[in-house]
């Protein structure tokens, strides 16, 4: 490949899935140091990659705004004009290569409309919603139970690129670092181990949530046994959840400040230990190398679990887990996990790193 090759990464959402692509992006930049690399991403998670030194361009795909605009007769034609302008701009960047890391209909169409001559994606049977129809360079996997990071790295095969373990980072601005430092100072968090706990999940993944009372009991154990600062992080409506958890504790728990994605990254980076479910913040902790305990129920940790050395997964071996359900009215895989189970696992990590 010659210098100045233009490469487009297509991975629209969500936080955890975007994090999974970071090693592939690091390998791309290492192999194409002079290339122009762009990333097409939904605006709701764009802040995670804005300012990344491996990227020349972050292209925002405002899906929610356009969906609302198309449904509103007053803004329909304006939205149509915006969409047409967006795709003209996308093609105008004249990408040579586009890589569809998402593998569904929407990402496939966007990869095709980029106008890239070489469009890499998974072949039939390894992607969703016929997205293979919109790519022309297909990758097939020998193992369907590959971790998501390894699956994403497999898409670099047509470019003869291998990931050599290059360090992956998420850069943080000075104002965001200072914001988190101020929060820690204001809560007198010093000279004691700090545990960041993220109990929430997206509404889409609500069946992966662990009970508030369990988190409260776990928090008390960590304060009693380790004299730890236990910080519960949240986003949006999760604030009420963490307030309830702290109110159920008999010892002091700390509700985190409101954070942007990058500020949450910085808080997780500074933690001595992270505990949470199968969520984006857990994947952030894993990619940063923060020691962590992941609480898993329905999903397969072989595919979705943490990859860092100082990590452990807590799950129960039940006949219906792992599963591929989108909803579940009786998630016994989560209900059977007790605070003592998580604390024992956390103690193993804690003794190694604190």
Structure token pair of residue 57: 């361009």
What is the pLDDT, as a whole number, of residue 204?
A: 76
pLDDT confidence band for 75 (50 / 70 / 90): very high
CATH superfamily, domain 6-159, is: Glycogen Phosphorylase B; (3.40.50.2000)
What is the pLDDT, as a whole number, of residue 288?
A: 96
Give per-residue pLDDT as tens, 127-151: 999 999 999 999 999 888 899 999 9
φ, ψ for residue 336 (rounded to 5)? Answer: -80, -15
Give per-residue pLDDT as tens, 190-203: 789 999 999 998 87
Q: Which residues of 111-150 are buried (b: 16+ CB within 10 A; e: fewer)?
A: bbebbbebbbbbeeebbeeebbebbebbbeeeeeeebbbb
List the domain boundaries for the chain: 6-159, 174-353
Structure token pair of residue 29: 């930049």
Lowest mean pLDDT among 64-68, 144-148, 178-182, 205-209: 205-209
What is the pLDDT, as a whole number, of residue 352?
A: 84
Among the four given CATH numbers 3.40.50.720, 3.40.50.1820, 3.30.460.20, 3.40.50.2000, the one describing domain 174-353? 3.40.50.2000
What is the pLDDT, as a whole number, of residue 3?
A: 52
pLDDT confidence band for 327 (50 / 70 / 90): confident
pLDDT confidence band for 108 (50 / 70 / 90): very high
- Which position has the higher pLDDT, 352 or 45? 45
Give per-residue pLDDT as tens, 279-307: 999 999 999 999 999 999 999 999 999 99
Give per-residue pLDDT as tens, 164-175: 888 899 999 999
Average pLDDT, the chain: 94
- Say if CB 283 and CB 16 are below 8 A apart: yes
Terminal-to-terminal C-alpha distance of the chain: 46
| Region 150-157 average pLDDT | 97
Give the separation between CA 57 and CA 114, rounded to whole angstroms.
14
| Region 25-32 average pLDDT | 96
What is the pLDDT, as a whole number, of residue 255?
A: 97
What is the pLDDT, as a whole number, of residue 1?
A: 42
Angle between helices 174-186 and 261-270 (to 10 degrees): 60
Spell out the residues 6+ positions from residue 50 whose beta carbon is closer than 8 angstroms to its own. 58
Same fold, 6-159 and 174-353: yes
pLDDT greater than 80 at residue 56: yes
Q: What percent of the chain has pLDDT over 70?
A: 99
């Amino acid at each position: 490949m010659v210098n100045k090759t233009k490469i487009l990464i297509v991975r629209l959402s969500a936080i955890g899935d975007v994090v999974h692509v970071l090693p592939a992006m690091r390998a791309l930049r290492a192999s194409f140091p002079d290339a122009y690399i762009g990333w097409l991403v939904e605006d709701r998670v764009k802040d995670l990659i804005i300012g990344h030194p491996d990227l020349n361009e972050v292209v925002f795909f405002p899906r929610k705004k356009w969906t609302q605009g198309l449904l509103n007769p007053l803004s329909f034609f304006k939205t149509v004009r915006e969409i047409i302008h967006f795709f003209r701009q996308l093609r105008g960047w004249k990408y040579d290569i586009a890589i569809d890391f998402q593998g569904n209909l929407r990402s496939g169409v966007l990869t095709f409309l980029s106008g890239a001559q070489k469009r890499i994606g998974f072949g039939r049977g390894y992607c969703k919603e016929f997205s293979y129809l919109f790519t022309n360079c297909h990758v097939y996997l020998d193992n369907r139970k590959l971790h998501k990071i390894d699956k994403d790295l497999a898409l670099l095969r047509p470019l003869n690129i291998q990931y050599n373990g290059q360090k992956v980072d998420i850069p943080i601005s000075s104002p965001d670092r200072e914001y988190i430092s101020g929060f820690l100072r204001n809560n007198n968090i010093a000279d004691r181990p700090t545990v960041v706990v993220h109990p929430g999940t997206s509404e889409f993944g609500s069946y992966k949530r662990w009970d508030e009372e369990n988190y409260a009991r776990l928090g008390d154990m960590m304060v009693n046994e380790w004299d730890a600062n236990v910080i519960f992080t949240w986003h949006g409506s999760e604030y009420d959840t963490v307030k309830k958890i702290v109110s159920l504790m008999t010892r002091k728990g700390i509700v985190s400040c409101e954070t942007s994605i990058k500020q949450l990254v910085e808080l997780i980076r500074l933690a001595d230990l992270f505990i949470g479910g199968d969520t984006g913040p857990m994947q952030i902790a894993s990619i940063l190398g923060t020691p962590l305990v992941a609480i898993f129920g329905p999903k397969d940790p072989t595919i979705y679990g943490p990859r860092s050395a100082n990590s452990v997964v807590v799950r129960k071996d039940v006949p219906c887990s792992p599963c591929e359900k989108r909803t579940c009215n009786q998630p016994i895989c989560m209900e059977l996990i007790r605070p003592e189970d998580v604390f024992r696992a956390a103690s193993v990590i804690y003794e190694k790193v604190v």
